[in-house]
Amino acid sequence: MKISTENTSGIPDVGNLSRLCQSLAVLDAILQPEWVYRYFSFNARWSDGKRMASMRDGSGSEYFILFQPEGAVLLGKTPKSPTGAEVTQRGHPLPGTFDGIPDALRNALVEPAFTSEETEFCLWRLITDDRWTVGGETGAERNHSEDLLFALDGRPETYKAWADDYYEKRVNFDAIRQVYEHKRITSKLVRSLNREMSLAKLADDLEEIGYVGAP
């Protein structure tokens, strides 16, 4: 069963989700040098110890995840879905979308980059929680959250299937797996994914993403 607001059990805990989002951002940085055309991004120094991950599909669907010491909040929207159209018509989220968010995480709702008034669905998890909580509308058939959250299952196979289609080429699976495992980024690994990219060209992205690879 795919990840959605009705099936959050496959989403990693806060720490591992942060690592996964870094991996997604690194892979997209290698495969797509132009930031504006990337699906996945990550900023390890968003503000005051906070980190931010995002996904944008170029057609208005997107999510933002704010990571902070207490936990994480994900705000998502898919404007072309039935629920998204209703949010757009109302001009604000549906009732209950933000109900129950712990006070320690509510500052995510006032982050200017997140446009919380357009939020279609919201997920959150404290560091001490054992699962993700979903606020408000959870019907995946209405909010199309499967299309937005697909890569958060933590499986390199999922990213490869998407990347092969999106980039219209066969993307090196072993390299994807190594990045998912947070292995050290080498020139060989970079070139196995994109022959026109170099480790030097990737340096600024790696710093922003805060990716630290193990041997």
pLDDT at 140: 77
Q: Is 148 helix (H, G, I), strand (E, B) or coil?
A: helix
pLDDT at 101: 95
Mean pLDDT per 10-residue segment, the chain (215 residues): 90 97 98 92 93 92 95 92 85 88 93 84 96 84 89 96 95 98 96 96 96 85
pLDDT at 27: 98
Question: DSSP string covering 100-134, please?
Answer: T--GGGGGGGG-GGG-GGG-SEEEEEETT-SS-EE
pLDDT at 87: 85
pLDDT in tens, 63-93: 999 999 999 999 999 888 888 888 888 888 8
Domain ranges of the chain: 14-155
The number of C-alpha atoms within 13 Å of 177 and in the hemisphere containing its C-beta is: 4
pLDDT at 39: 95
Q: Can you tell me the distance from the alpha carbon of 15 to that of 81, in angstroms, rounded to the nearest whole number? A: 30
Q: Are 29 and 205 in contact (CB under 8 A)?
A: yes
User: Which position has the token pair 């805060």?
Assistant: 210
Contacts of 79 (CB under 8 A, 6+ apart): 60, 61, 85, 87, 88, 118, 120
Helices 156-166 and 173-180, interaxial angle, to 10°?
A: 130
